[in-house]
Amino acid sequence: MADKALDIRIDVDLAIPDISIGVNRNWKTVEFEIEKGGSYYPAYEGPYEVDASFYYATTLATYKRTMENDVTVNRIPVYEASNPQGGKTVTIGEW
């Protein structure tokens, strides 16, 4: 009986690497090999830390990209100070 290989592919989710299962069968044994493949999506190459803005939106090109870490959006600074009238003055952002 000649050696034959059977290649089975199982697709679970496009964002998760694929899993290939190969079966090599000959007259004495059946061997199973499992290989984890690379990601389906290309790697994200943009910044992982951005500053929030009042005046414009920031879009990170993460759609259909594989990311190594979470993205951090830095907060907008807020400062409070007492004022002569007995209230508080709030400064949002840095001047």
Residues 89, 10: Cα–Cα separation, whole Å: 61
Confidence of residue 48 (pLDDT cuts 50, 70, 90): very high
Query: Between β-strands 88-92 and 78-82, what pairing exists: parallel, antiparallel or unpaired?
Result: antiparallel
Residues 31 and 54 in one domain: no
Q: What is the pLDDT of residues 51-67, one digit of tens each?
A: 998 888 999 999 988 88
Does the pLDDT value for residue 89 go beyond 90?
A: yes
Residue 84, in any domain of the structure: yes
Does the residue 16 lie in any domain?
yes
Q: How many structural domains does the chain have?
A: 2
The domain in which residue 57 lies consists of 49-92
Same domain? 32 vs 63: no
